[in-house]
Amino acid sequence: MATDMPPQQPTLSEVAERAGVSRAVASRAINDAPNVSRAKREAVRRAVRELGYTPNRTARALATRRTGTVVLAISGDDPELFADPFFAQAVVGISAALEETSLHLILCLATTAHGQQRLKSLLDTRGVDGVMLMAMRGDDPAVRIALAATLPVVFGGRPLCVEPEFYVDADNIGGARRATEHLIRTGRTRIATIGGLPDTEVAEARCRGYREAMTMAGLEPYPPEPADFNESGGAAAMHRLLESHPDLDAVFAANDNMAAGAVRVLREAGRSVPKDVAVVGFDDLPIACQTTPQLTTVHQPIRAMGEEMVRMLIALLAGRRPTPLILPTRLVVRDSA
């Protein structure tokens, strides 16, 4: 009795014959290897589409010593971290850039001992071709794990524990300086700052920009009030600032979440924003337009940061040595200042 046989998958040899190239050239083109002309690469891609060819991932990994997978490790222990608007935008940028390649993405939380061991096992077994790191804190073990693996590593932002060779960052110092200068231009002189987590480079850089602007204007900088980069942390920091500096007339917060918390506490305390106390944030996240009044803030290109991290990692995978990038920021003036 006749049985239905599954359709036979097209082979690499058939792709090569359809494209009019050798089997070796077809293999190099499919695996994004160098030394293949644009015309031949396009001919192979066209043949792959026409035949419906799907590369065998195991064979491809053995042939190229590549897995076709990269990992994004973030210092955090809560899966909901990826829903945070900042990280969500960064992941959207990373995913958009990866869509132009054949690479797949693994997300990894790397704060707990378990998360760090998972990352180490992934890298030790060469389960990925490259690593992207974000939100590293202090002397972060994830940084040491990644750098010890001798794989291409790209940082989104810079860690405090090491000066990375390859990174994409925003102009945090310049953005914070412009934010503070804006407050000074509007006549504010008693400007406090909510500085974020003190064991992060981004908080240190934004506090530095604030201090530079205050010093250049002949004003005494306030000691930064630390917080956890979230709205509740910003609210708690604002309570402390009102107790220690009840005469303040402006606040620069190192991100929009903390600025939103500060605005809420100021209003609850009977302080008008911006009449009594002006507030400026950083990031230009959706929450900046959801506060009352809407936040003046520093826009940083978060999605572009994710895209550039992928492009830098791809350059490293291709044997090139890209230049670190610092992306520009700009002030967005709204009603809070």
Model confidence at 7, pLDDT cuts 50, 70, 90, reads low
Domains: count for the chain: 3
Per-residue model confidence (pLDDT) at position 251: 98
Whether residue 295 is found in the same domain as residue 150 = no
Residue 177: inside a domain, yes or no?
A: yes
Whether residue 153 is found in the same domain as residue 90 = yes
pLDDT at 23 over 60: yes
pLDDT at 65 over 70: no
Residue 40: inside a domain, yes or no?
A: yes
Whether residue 216 is found in the same domain as residue 251 = yes
Mean pLDDT of 55-81: 67
Residue 51: inside a domain, yes or no?
A: yes
Per-residue model confidence (pLDDT) at position 5: 45
Model confidence at 62, pLDDT cuts 50, 70, 90, reads very low
For residue 153, the enclosing domain spans 69-169+302-327
Residue 241: inside a domain, yes or no?
A: yes
Q: What whole-number percentage of the chain has pLDDT above 90?
A: 60
Q: What is the CATH number of the domain that holds 29?
A: 1.10.260.40
Whether residue 223 is found in the same domain as residue 249 = yes
Q: What is the pTM of this model?
A: 0.78
Residue 336: inside a domain, yes or no?
A: no
Whether residue 247 is found in the same domain as residue 228 = yes
**What does the pLDDT look like over 211-258, one tens digit per residue?**
999 999 999 999 999 998 999 999 999 999 999 999 999 999 999 999
Residue 2: inside a domain, yes or no?
A: no
Whether residue 203 is found in the same domain as residue 176 = yes
Residue 80: inside a domain, yes or no?
A: yes
Three state DSSP letters for the chain: CCCCCCCCCCCHHHHHHHHCCCHHHHHHHHCCCCCCCHHHHHHHHHHHHHHCCCCCHHHHHHHHCCCCEEEEEECCCCHHHHHCHHHHHHHHHHHHHHCCCCCEEEEEECCCHHHHHHHHHHHHCCCCCEEEEECCCCCCHHHHHHHHCCCCEEEECCCCCCCCCCEEEECHHHHHHHHHHHHHHCCCCCEEEECCCCCCHHHHHHHHHHHHHHHHCCCCCCCCECCCCCHHHHHHHHHHHHHHCCCCCEEEECCHHHHHHHHHHHHHCCCCCCCCCEEEEEECCHHHHCCCCCCEEEECCHHHHHHHHHHHHHHHHCCCCCCCEEECCEEECCCCC
Whether residue 161 is found in the same domain as residue 82 = yes
Whether residue 284 is found in the same domain as residue 311 = no
Per-residue model confidence (pLDDT) at position 58: 44
Whether residue 120 is found in the same domain as residue 180 = no
**What does the pLDDT look like over 99-134, one tens digit per residue?**
888 889 999 888 888 889 999 988 888 889 999 999
Whether residue 199 is found in the same domain as residue 294 = yes
Q: What is the CATH number of the domain that holds 93?
A: 3.40.50.2300
